[in-house]
Amino acid sequence: MDVIDLKILEELKDDGRKSYNEISENIGKTEATVRRRVNRLIKNGVIKKFTIEYQVDSKPKTKATVKIEPDFKEMKNILKELRNINEITDIWRLSGDCGLFIKVEIPTIEDFNPLIEDKISPIKGVKIMETCFITDIIK
């Protein structure tokens, strides 16, 4: 993958329905180049599927971050277990002593403690260090 592939992926990430022609205009390459590269990205498994995101209810979700101190001997299992929790939208492994940082989205604030107590804390090697509710998204 090169810079052109990354630009194409960014265009598709913004709107998976963009035409090859529109993408080519935005990145300064020909439509044939974009078409060929997208087909190659699909063939190589970089693009696995084109999908949509929607929210059935218009009620905003409650979002929070959780800092986890992992037992590094259990890291593979911890990451596997965290990936399987639907409420977790992002997982970051941080440098130094920072451990793991996750973002969760839940329907209501009342759903937070059961998520922590029933799904995250029981994972072997996980120690919850800090939780913060996201009150406003600036950017």
State the DSSP string of 32-69. Answer: HHHHHHHHHHHHTTSS--------SS-SPPEEEEEEEE
Identify the helix (H) or strand (E) that includes residue 105: strand 100-106
Measure Cα distances from 117 to 42, 63, 134 in Å. 40, 17, 20
Conformation bin of residue 99: beta by default, left when phi > 0, alpha when psi is -120 to 50: left
Mean pLDDT computed over 62-87: 94
Query: Does the pLDDT value for residue 15 go beyond 90?
Result: no
CATH numbers and ranges of domains, the chain: 3-43 (1.10.10), 62-133 (3.30.70.920)
Q: What is the per-residue pLDDT across 52-70, written as a single tens digit (0 to 9) for each?
A: 766 565 567 899 999 999 9
8 A C-beta contact, residue 30 and residue 24: yes
Whole-model pTM above 0.75? Answer: no
Strand partners, 101: 67, 92
